[in-house]
Amino acid sequence: MHRKMVFLALLQVLSLGAAACGDKKCKTDEDCRDTKGANKICYEGRCVSLKGESGKASPPPGGRRVVDPNVTFKVDVDPKKHPSKGSASAPVTVVEFSDFQCPYCGRASRTMEQLAKAFPKAVRIVFMHNPLSFHKNAMGAAEAAQAVFFLKGADTFWKYHDKLFSNRTALHRENLEKWAQELGVDLPKLKAALDKHTHRKMIQQQQKLYNKYGGRGAPGFFINGRFVSGARPLSFFKEKVQQALERAQKIMAKGVRPQDVYAHIMKTAKTRAVYTK
């Protein structure tokens, strides 16, 4: 019990976007319903608390300020640096900040896959890194994934991405190399990138950007620049994407091409954190 209390306290200090795992065992989401009506899901055999689908932020732990969900932040993307999937001309870009060792990020990654399928022409998913410091293998996995992207391209990156999330408790160097080699990645070049920490600076820059706008924990998302924290349900993301599409349609009505909408939005986006009052 003491260890559990210390762990929960640590999570509060770190201000994670999604709540910590509960004690209650489960098989389905229905097993996680309680008398307080809290929104919980069944994940990996345990009840996990998530934010609700209304879009209203939960009370921040310790009084932490909440990022304003109606403010657009400047999150530039570069297809040469940032893995993406979906149509290159999609008017809605979802930038995902994630950690390969985080169970909530694993669930969110599947939600992003469903979201991309739900909006095949309208949504582009862009992946950025936020390996949390208390996940000892997360930074190494992020560096390996980024190396795979540069060495083998986006298609191989996404396959590797899925492999990492499917084996988040086994992200050791030996496995990182083995899985990459199975996907046809040049092993000597991958090893060199990991030994020299070739991509660590880029990953840290992504973390700084995320933190700059008030992002804490993982996962976190920017939908055409508007922040969403935590592993929300698919229905929530669909609603947010639909809202972003409506805003994008107004921009396109002025003559902006769909593939230029995101760059157009970024021109006037905020470059500092803005919080709700």
pLDDT, one tens digit per residue, over 154-187 is 999 999 999 999 999 999 999 999 999 999 999 9
For residue 8, being part of any structural domain is answered with no
Does 274 fall in a domain? no
Say whether pLDDT at 14 is over 80: no
- Domain extent for 45: 20-49
Q: What proportions of the chain, in percent to the nearest 5, are helix, strand and coil? A: 45, 15, 40
- Same-domain check for residues 193 and 88: yes
Q: What is the mean pLDDT of the chain?
A: 85
DSSP state of 59: P
Residues 29 and 109 in one domain: no
Count of other CB atoms within 10 angstroms of residue 264: 15
Q: Are residues 35 and 137 in the same domain?
A: no
Strands 123-129 and 92-98: parallel
In what side-by-side order are the strands of the sheet with 46-49? 21-25, 46-49, 40-43
CATH of the domain at 134: 3.40.30.10
**Cα–Cα distances in Å, from 145 out to 96, 140, 192, 194, 215?**
15, 9, 14, 10, 22
Is the residue at 11 inside a domain? no
* pLDDT at site 72: 98
Q: What is the pLDDT of residues 199-246, one digit of tens each?
A: 999 999 999 999 999 999 999 999 999 999 999 999 999 999 999 999
**In the chain, pLDDT over 70 holds for what percent of residues?**
77
What is the predicted pLDDT for the residue at 277?
A: 78
Residues 44 and 95 placed together within one structural domain of the fold: no
pLDDT of residue 263 exceeding 90, the answer is yes
- The pLDDT value given to residue 18: 39
220, two tokens: 């976190």
Which pLDDT belongs to residue 60?
A: 46
Q: Which of 20-34, 58-72, 123-137, 186-200 has the lowest mean pLDDT?
A: 20-34
**Helical segments of the chain, H only:** 2-14, 103-118, 138-152, 154-166, 173-182, 187-196, 200-212, 234-252, 261-266
Residue 28 domain flag: yes
Do residues 48 and 104 lie in contact, with contact meaning Cβ atoms separated by under 8 Å?
yes
CA dist., res. 208 & res. 167, Å (int): 27
Instruction: Compute CA distances 99 → 85, 166, 258, 271, whole Å.
Output: 18, 13, 30, 24
Mean pLDDT of 83-97: 96
Residues 25 and 142 both lie in one domain: no
88 and 44, same domain (yes or no): no
User: Residue 47 has what pLDDT?
Assistant: 61
CB atoms near residue 233 (< 10 Å): 17
Lowest mean pLDDT segment, chosen from 13-22, 80-89, 121-130, 152-161? 13-22
| Model confidence, pTM | 0.80
Structure-token match 């055999």, residue found: 45
Give tens-digit pLDDT for 102-124. 999 999 999 999 999 999 999 99
Both 244 and 160 in a single domain?
yes
Q: Is the pLDDT of residue 51 over 50?
A: no
Residues 6+ apart with CB under 8 A from 222: 73, 75, 94, 95, 213, 228
**Among candidates 56, 11, 50, which has minimal Cα distance to 29?**
50
Is residue 126 included in any domain, yes or no? yes
Reported for 260-263, long-range contacts at CB under 8 A and 24+ positions apart, including other chains, are 261/91, 261/92, 261/224, 262/77, 262/91, 262/92, 262/93, 262/124, 262/224
- Total domains in the chain come to 2
Residue 246 DSSP SS3: helix
Q: Considering the domain boundaries, does residue 75 fall inside one? A: no
Q: Is the pLDDT confidence value at 70 over 50?
A: yes
Amino acid at 50: L
Q: Is residue 203 part of a domain?
A: yes
